[in-house]
Structure 1
C-alpha cells in the first residue's frame, strides 16, 4: 500500500469528489488545493516536484510532458467533445479527462428573460439588462478567442478583420457591463449571479454545474455559447481538468486502479455528480438521472462542448496566455487601440516561437 499526495483546485467541483473517493475507497491519497489562478498559471515543473497526482489544464502540456508519465492505457469509454484529444500530445495521452467544461452562456432568466442564442441578441440584451463579460486573468483572451471562433475564424493571433470585429464586440459590451465585474473570474462571476441581482447574463463563462442546482433560490440557466447566426458554430474554448501522474510518483497498481475507477461509468455517472463534480464521460452528460437535479445543465450545453475549440499546447503558451489576457483587457477598456493591440498580440505569439 502506497502513500500519495495530490493537488487540485479549490472549489467543490474540483475538490469534493476526489477527497471523498480517497476516503471511501481507502486509498492513502491526500489532496491539497490551490486557487483557480494557480491552476491556470502555476508551472507544472514546480508542482511535479511535490505531488504525485496533479489536476491540470491541458495548455500546460507543452511545457509539462517531461515531468509527467503517459497514461495511454488507463482510459476507455467515450468522453464529451475534444476532452480526450486536449490531453494528447506527441503520440501520448498525458492526463485523464476527469472533468469536462467549456465556455457557455449563463443567464438569470428571472432578470433577463429567455437566454440569447446569437451575438446580436446578446448586444440587444445588454441595452436592457446587466450583461457582464468574463475578462479576469486569462479569461479576457479566452473570451476573445471564442468570439473569433463564433465569427468564423479560429484564432491565429495575427491581425485580421475577424479579430478586430471580436475586440470591437467585447469593447461595446464592456461599456455597459456592471461595475467591478471585470475583476471576477468564472467562480467569482457565477457566485455574484447567485448572490444578488447584479448580473443578468454572461455570454461566455466556463460552465459550473453547481450554480445550476434546482435547490438554489437564484439559479443560473446554462445554455449553448452564442453563435453569429442560426445554425453556425457556437464559439467556445474548451477547459475542463485532467488527472496527471508525475514522474516522481511510484505508479502502483493500487493508484492506477483508483484513477481508472474515477473515470469509470460508475464513478462518472453517480459518485462524481453526488459530490459536486462535473463529469467528462458522455454517458453522464446524456443521463436523465445526472441532468435532473441540475435543470438539464449537461444536455443544454452538449452541443457547445462537442464543437469547442482546443487551445494550443505549445511550449511557452501559458506565459503567452497570461500576457495576452492583460493585453486584451487593455484593448477592451481603452488603454490600447485595437490596431496597436493586435500588432502587440502578434508579437507576443511570435515571441514563443510561432510564425
Structure 2
C-alpha cells in the first residue's frame, strides 16, 4: 500500500479561520485519496505575529495576513502561484476579487497567496436593542458619537486595530497614509484624525482596549449592553442564525463629512510553502479551496468568509447571513490597501501602541505623530531593497 502524501497546514483558531479549512481538506481527501491534509490552529494574535518565514519551515499550507506578502517575497519562503496554476485560473481570481483582496497578495509581479477570505472593518448592530432604545441605525459619525455617549457603542481598541482605524480615518479625511517617505500622514490630517478618534474612544468602556473584533461581537451577542459597533473587521458568522445567542446585522460604514468612511483591508490568503516536498499537491488543494464552486458552498457553509466575488453576490449565501455580504461589499470595494513592504511589519507591530497611549492618556497630537514618523522612517530601511 502506497504511503499517503501528508500536507500540514496552519490557520487561526476561530470558526471562520479553522472550520472551512478542515471541511475543504476532508472533501479534497475524498476526491484525492492519496492525500491527507492536517490543519493546526493558532490564536489571532499569533496569526498576526509569528513570522511566515518560521511557519513555512514547519507547514506546507499557511493562511496568512497580506502584510506578510513583502516579507515572504523577500525571503523566498513561499511558492508563487504563477509558477504552478494556470493563467486563466489566476485571471478569474483577479477579476472576481472582493475589493483589493487578490491584489493584496501580489508583490514584485508574483501571486504569493490566493484570497480565500475577505474582510475589512464594517459596522454591526443589534437591531432588537436599537429598536428598544428607539434609536435609528447611525448614518453619520455624529450619530455614532451621540449613541456612544449613551454607553451603547463598542469596538476594538487593541493596538493593531487602533492603528487600522487610524489609517481608515486618514483615508476618510482624504489622505492615504504612508505615501510619503518622510511621514506617515500630514500633520494637518493626522492631528484631525487623532482628535476625532479620541472623541469617540473616550466614550467607550475601557474593556474594549482588551478586545479584538470577534471578542467585540461576542460581547454584543452574549450580553445586551452594546447595540452598535461602527467599525470592526467583519465576521459573517455572527450574522448566522444559531451561531451566537443573538444575531448581528452588518452594514456599510457611516459617512464622515458627507462621504462614506473608508476602512483598512484585512482578510486572509492561502499560501504554499516553498520548503515543502509536495508543492504541486499543496497548490492543487489551494486552487480547489479558491474555486468559486467551493467558495460559495462548502467553504461558506462551514463558517468561512469567502474571497471570491461570486460567493459575496450569491443569493443563498446572503439569505443565510442576514445579507452580510451584499450589505458590506461597498465597504470592501472602498477599502485601503495598507503597505506590504518587508519593513512595514515592524511599524505595524509597534505604532498601534503609540496610538493607544494617546487614546488612553491624551497628550500633544503633534508629539504623537512625531513618534509615529520616527518609527516609520526606521521601517523604511528595507523598502528600497524590496519594492
Shift of 1:279: 0.6
Find out whether 1:152 has 2:155 as its counterpart: no
Shift of 1:167: 1.1
Taking the TM superposition and a 5 Å limit, the aligned residue runs for 1:249-264 are 249-264=276-291
Shift of 1:29: 1.1
Shift of 1:233: 4.2
User: What does residue 3 of structure 1 align with?
Assistant: 6
Per-residue CA deviation, residues 175-232 of structure 1 (Å, 9 max, x unaligned), is 21024111101121111111102322221100000011133542221111223144x2
Find out whether 1:191 has 2:242 as its counterpart: no
Distance in 2 of aligned mates of 1:289 and 1:193: 25
1:69 to 79, 89, 98: 79
User: What does residue 223 of structure 1 align with?
Assistant: 251
Distance in 2 of aligned mates of 1:20 and 1:251: 21
Shift of 1:34: 0.5
Sort the Cα spacing of 1:322 and 1:42 in 2 relative to 1 into closer, same or farther, 3 A.
same
* Residues 154 and 205 in structure 2, CA contact (< 8 A), matched pair in contact too: yes
Sort the Cα spacing of 1:234 and 1:334 in 2 relative to 1 into closer, same or farther, 3 A.
same
Q: TM-score, normalised by structure 2?
A: 0.87
Distance in 2 of aligned mates of 1:189 and 1:24: 33
Matched residue of 2:139: which SS?
coil
Per-residue CA deviation, residues 32-60 of structure 1 (Å, 9 max, x unaligned), is 11000011121111111111111000101
* Residues 56 and 242 in structure 1, CA contact (< 8 A), matched pair in contact too: yes
User: What does residue 304 of structure 2 align with?
Assistant: 277
1:334 to 322, 345, 361: 361
Per-residue CA deviation, residues 9-30 of structure 1 (Å, 9 max, x unaligned), is 0001000011122123213111
- Quick check: which has more Rg, 1 or 2? 2
User: What does residue 38 of structure 1 align with?
Assistant: 46
Per-residue CA deviation, residues 223-257 of structure 1 (Å, 9 max, x unaligned), is 11223144x24311110000111111234543332
> Which ranges of structure 2 fall in alignment gaps of 5 or more residues?
30-34, 179-183
Find out whether 1:115 has 2:133 as its counterpart: no
Matched residue of 2:57: which SS?
coil
Find out whether 1:23 has 2:26 as its counterpart: yes
Q: Which runs of 4+ in 1 moved over 4 A?
A: none
* Residues 80 and 282 in structure 1, CA contact (< 8 A), matched pair in contact too: yes
Find out whether 1:136 has 2:158 as its counterpart: yes
Matched residue of 1:135: which SS?
coil
Greater helix percent: which structure? 2
Distance in 2 of aligned mates of 1:178 and 1:107: 17
Per-residue CA deviation, residues 38-91 of structure 1 (Å, 9 max, x unaligned), is 111211111111111110001011211221110123633412110111011000
User: What does residue 86 of structure 1 align with?
Assistant: 104
Distance in 1 of aligned mates of 2:378 and 2:262: 26
Q: TM-score, normalised by structure 1?
A: 0.95
Shift of 1:293: 1.2
Shift of 1:329: 0.2
> Which ranges of structure 1 fall in alignment gaps of 5 or more residues?
none
Matched residue of 1:177: which SS?
coil
* Residues 155 and 213 in structure 2, CA contact (< 8 A), matched pair in contact too: no
* Residues 130 and 178 in structure 1, CA contact (< 8 A), matched pair in contact too: no
Per-residue CA deviation, residues 145-183 of structure 1 (Å, 9 max, x unaligned), is 111111211113134222112111221112210241111
* Residues 158 and 345 in structure 1, CA contact (< 8 A), matched pair in contact too: no
User: What does residue 290 of structure 1 align with?
Assistant: 317
Matched residue of 1:104: which SS?
strand
| Equivalences, count | 354
- Which region of structure 1 is more displaced relative to structure 2, 59-68 or 85-94? 59-68
